[in-house]
Amino acid sequence: MCHSVGVLEAVLLVGGQGTRLRPLTVTTPKPMLPVAGVPCTEHQIARARDAGVSRVVLGTSYKPEVFLEHFGDGSRFGVELVYVTEDVPMGTGGAIRHVADHLLSGPDDPVLVFNGDILSGHDIAGQVRRWREDTADVSLYLTRVEDPRAYGLVPTDTEGRVLQFLEKPSTPEEIVTDQVNAGCYVFRRRVIDAIPTGRPVSVERETFPGLLAAGSVVTGFVDEGYWLDLGRPLDFVQGSRDLVTGRAPSSILPGPVGEAMVVPGAEVAQTAVLSGGTFVGAGATVGPDAVVEGSVLFDGAMVAAGAHVRDSAIGYGAIVGSGAFLDGVVVGDRAVVGPGNELVHGARVWPGVALSETSIRFSSDR
């Protein structure tokens, strides 16, 4: 019998490029984008800590320095933080294996592993408890979604044993369930050590199917609480909105705020209307008669008089000119959308881009 070190460890996978969230991720790694003003990673660390985790290993690759600058040694966040960086991205399984040398857990101890872009309210301690009761090799947190195609499909039997793992099914026949991998695993430490080293490995495409084929005990922990993957722009904006309105749980925020959360120091004109869980970051400004619905204004962003911004993310120091209309749009850091422009559904403005001459004057006039 191996001895437990008595420390519950968690690995956060935060090395992805966040391609779908460009241009926001050109400067900031996806897990560090502010969701209701707080990086997703910080929400996750708080939840892990609340569930008894005292040591967190960050598996980084893309822009590791951004994590280090914000979290330091972790003491401000109530955990010990360890950084492990891949020179080249090793995939989800490769990243888990790559951090193994930095884990203190014994071979039969549980190690939590989180995808770094998930906002959830699931019962983490309950999942670890169930993993122990089931003497499982791996337990997967599962949730139900309307459209499972963008996720890993995980059908289970009546006892909760995982039957199959189908990552991002490509044919209708493969859509056998609406139950998907929600991106939080409890691994028996020795299972992590058995992942091959020195090459990229996908935990979803290789490790899980391999464990199932080998007859390992892989169980599902279904939790129907709040869950959101922040991988796409509108989902990221929704996550922020849900935290502000209190739909999504958080132990960091002061509690549901309601229609809008405005960081002290931001300037919002009296005649501006903020609604739908809008977040206004530090030093951001919203001009007279502007309307901002369900959106995220990063620090220093500006929405000028009479502009209308809906379901959008406006990057650090970006400017939306007077009378402009934006719906479902991402504006990169320090970009300028000139007065009167209309941008809709999925439009993305790259950092620093100015959309009109007028807007360039507008920005330097400030």
Minimum distance from residue 287 beta carbon to ligand GDD (Å): 36
Minimum distance from residue 257 beta carbon to ligand GDD (Å): 26
- With 0-12 / 13-18 / 19 or more C-beta atoms within 10 angstroms meaning exposed / middle / buried, residue 95 is buried
Site string for Mg ion, 180-219 (x = CB under 5 A): ----------------------------------------
Distance of CA 106 to the CA centre of its chain: 29
Residues 212, 230, 174, 219, CA torsion sign: positive
Q: Which does 15 bind (CB under 5 to 8 A by kind): ligand GDD, Mg ion, none?
A: ligand GDD
- Residue in 37, 39, 59, 321 binding ligand GDD, rule: CB under 6 A: 59
Site string for ligand GDD, 233-262 (x = CB under 6 A): ------------------------------
Distance of CA 230 to the CA centre of its chain: 5
Per rule CB under 6 A, count of chain residues that contact ligand GDD = 28
DSSP assignment string, 254-303: SS---SEEE-TT-EE-TT-EEETTEEE-TT-EE-TT-EEES-EE-TT-EE
Residues in 101-120 that interact with Mg ion by CB under 5 A = 117
If one asks whether residue 229 binds Mg ion (CB under 5 A), the answer comes out as yes
Residues 6+ apart with CB under 8 A from 52: 8, 125, 128
Strand partners of residue 11: 57, 113
Q: Which does 351 bind (CB under 5 to 8 A by kind): ligand GDD, Mg ion, none?
A: none
DSSP 102: G
DSSP assignment string, 143-204: EE-S-GGGSEE--B-TT-BB---EES--SGGG---SEEEEEEEEEEHHHHHTSPPSS---II
Q: Which residue type occupies 77?
A: F
The answer to whether the CB of 83 falls within 8 A of the CB of 119 is no
The token pair that represents 62 in the structure block: 């893309």
Residues in 142-181 that interact with ligand GDD by CB under 6 A = 151-152, 167, 180-181
Distance CA 160, CA 221 (A): 7
Nearest residue to Mg ion on Cβ basis: 231
- Residue in 41, 44, 61, 285 binding ligand GDD, rule: CB under 6 A: 61
Residues in 291-320 that interact with ligand GDD by CB under 6 A = none
- Residue in 9, 42, 117, 311 binding ligand GDD, rule: CB under 6 A: 117
Does residue 366 sit in helix, strand or coil?
A: coil
Nearer to ligand GDD, 204 or 206 (CB): 204
Minimum distance from residue 52 beta carbon to Mg ion (Å): 25
Nearer to Mg ion, 117 or 299 (CB): 117
If one asks whether residue 204 binds ligand GDD (CB under 6 A), the answer comes out as yes
Site string for ligand GDD, 66-105 (x = CB under 6 A): --------------------x--xxxx--x----------
Residues forming contacts to ligand GDD in the complex (CB under 6 A) are 13-16, 31, 59-61, 86, 89-92, 95, 115-118, 151-152, 167, 180-183, 204, 229, 231
Q: For binding to Mg ion (CB under 5 A), which residues are involved? A: 117, 229, 231
